[in-house]
Amino acid sequence: MDVKQESDLEPLCSCANLTYGDARKLLARPSGMTYDQLLAETGAGQTCTACLLNMEYFCSSEGAAAAATGLVTDASLKAQERRSLKRRLYDWLDIVFPLIAFNRTNFIPILCGPDIETNLRVTNHKLLFKEGHNPPFKIRYAIRNAAGGLLKRNTALVGVGEELSVPVSTFLDPPEEGQPFSIGMVEIDRFGKFPGNRGTTRPQVEILSKDGSSAVHSQAYNSPGDIWFTAQNRTDEERLFVIVLNTSRADLVFSIAYPFSPLGVAADSLQVKQGTLAGKGAYVHEVTGIAPDELVYSLRAQIGHAAKVMLLCATPDLSRISVDHP
């Protein structure tokens, strides 16, 4: 089967303004380039991350085409001449010792309440990768409550063409009186059984509510510092929540402040919520008290060390819920 080759002018990563032609030139450099090096040098796949699967497939297919034409061989020979003693030592160690799977750790929130369910989903679809390019994946996950307490730890093998679905909200206690829902966190590790493509295995969180469903892919943690969101003030139509997941075992000092102007200028009515979150814990804060004349406002979350911050939007009765990352 012939695989369609995209035009050089077509965007591969719109966020980084990277076209297929630009990427082909980088992969064809005499020194060669790996998938991870391409991401690091171009900044591709770092913003919305929607292009990562296309990027991986592109690097896989272009690398195979280069090898067939001898480009990779030529680049390897030239690179071989320039290898440092340190690099040669590493290469020797790679030959002598067995390969170890590189772990990808991701985090997702858990919501539990009346008519609110949360599922963890991991798929390992073959797509168009060649036979043997998709390894089975060992998925290890830990389910924790808001205080960081471990509720469930398990490991599952997801073979090629298989899916994993875990109803993670069933492990949480119901929300306390006056609270819209209870919250927790899932930490997921992925290990390929042999070298290959990660493909579709990025974990997804699925939130089911009375009148709708939403999903978003998991991510690694956010770096320490400021994280900004901008929102419309529509209190009659929606409720807004900020979710903080402490991805470390150390306590997390954080703050949530709003409203700011879209340019980051603090309003006279600035509200600041400060707190300390236990290791591996989860916290949710509902945004309230925005003046009616603040039609569009910004919100700032500050985290003292690596953590995950997400924004949740819902109808007033929580019958429809949407969750997203910054």
Query: Which amino acid appears at position 172 of this protein?
Result: L
Both 250 and 300 in a single domain?
Answer: yes
Q: Per DSSP, what are the bridge partners of residue 106? A: 188
Both 45 and 63 in a single domain?
Answer: yes
Q: Three-state secondary structure along the chain?
A: CCCCCCCCCCEEECCCCEEHHHHHHHHCCCCCCCHHHHHHHHCCCCCCCCCHHHHHHHHHHHHHHHHHHCHHHHHHHHHHHCCCHHHHHHHHHHHHCCCCCCCEEEEEEEEEECCEEEEEEEECCCCCCCCCCCCCEEEEEEEEECCCCEEEEEEEEECCCCEEEECHHHHCCCCCCCCCCEEEEEEEEEEECCCCCCCCCCCEEEEEECCEEEEEECECCECCEEEEEEEECCCCCCEEEEEEECCCCCCEEEEEEEEECCCCCEEEEEEEEEEEECCCCEEEEEECCCCCCCCEEEEEEEECCCEEEEEEEECCCCCCEEEECC
User: pTM (2 decimals)?
Assistant: 0.74
Asked if residue 235 is part of any domain, the answer here is: yes
Asked if residue 6 is part of any domain, the answer here is: no
Query: Token match 């695989």: residue?
Result: 3
Both 110 and 53 in a single domain?
Answer: no
Per-residue confidence (pLDDT) for residue 204, from 0 to 100: 95
Last residue of a domain, one of 190, 217, 244: 217
Q: How many CA atoms lie within 13 A of 56 on its CB side?
A: 17
Asked if residue 172 is part of any domain, the answer here is: yes
Q: Per DSSP, what are the bridge partners of residue 301? A: 227, 256
Both 166 and 139 in a single domain?
Answer: yes
Per-residue confidence (pLDDT) for residue 284, from 0 to 100: 97
Overall number of domains in the chain: 3
Cβ 187 vs Cβ 249: under 8 Å = no
- Cα dihedral 237/115/216/172 (nearest 10): 130
Both 170 and 262 in a single domain?
Answer: no
Cβ 127 vs Cβ 57: under 8 Å = yes
Both 194 and 242 in a single domain?
Answer: no
How would you write the pLDDT of the chain (326 residues) with one tens digit per residue? Answer: 344 456 788 888 888 889 988 888 888 776 667 788 888 889 888 877 778 888 888 887 776 554 444 444 444 445 555 667 887 787 788 788 877 777 889 999 999 999 999 999 999 987 765 666 788 999 999 999 999 999 999 999 999 999 999 999 999 999 998 899 999 999 999 999 888 788 889 999 999 999 999 999 988 888 899 999 999 999 889 999 999 999 999 999 999 999 999 888 998 889 999 999 999 999 999 999 998 888 999 999 999 999 999 999 999 999 999 998 87
Per-residue confidence (pLDDT) for residue 31, from 0 to 100: 67
Asked if residue 271 is part of any domain, the answer here is: yes
CATH number of the domain to which 229 belongs: 2.60.290
Contacts of 239 (CB under 8 A, 6+ apart): 180, 286, 287, 313, 314, 315, 316, 318
Both 288 and 307 in a single domain?
Answer: yes
Per-residue confidence (pLDDT) for residue 78, from 0 to 100: 52
Both 209 and 314 in a single domain?
Answer: no
d(CA 39, CA 46): 8
Per-residue confidence (pLDDT) for residue 130, from 0 to 100: 60
Both 193 and 287 in a single domain?
Answer: no
d(CA 178, CA 33): 55
Asked if residue 3 is part of any domain, the answer here is: no
Asked if residue 4 is part of any domain, the answer here is: no
Asked if residue 51 is part of any domain, the answer here is: yes
Both 274 and 310 in a single domain?
Answer: yes
Q: What domain range is 205 assigned to? A: 104-217
Both 146 and 180 in a single domain?
Answer: yes
Last residue of a domain, one of 71, 96, 121: 96
Per-residue confidence (pLDDT) for residue 271, from 0 to 100: 94
Last residue of a domain, one of 217, 233, 254: 217
| CB burial of residue 39 (10 Å; 0-12, 13-18, 19+) | buried
Both 18 and 85 in a single domain?
Answer: yes
Q: Per DSSP, what are the bridge partners of residue 240? A: 287, 313
Cβ 203 vs Cβ 121: under 8 Å = yes
d(CA 177, CA 239): 18
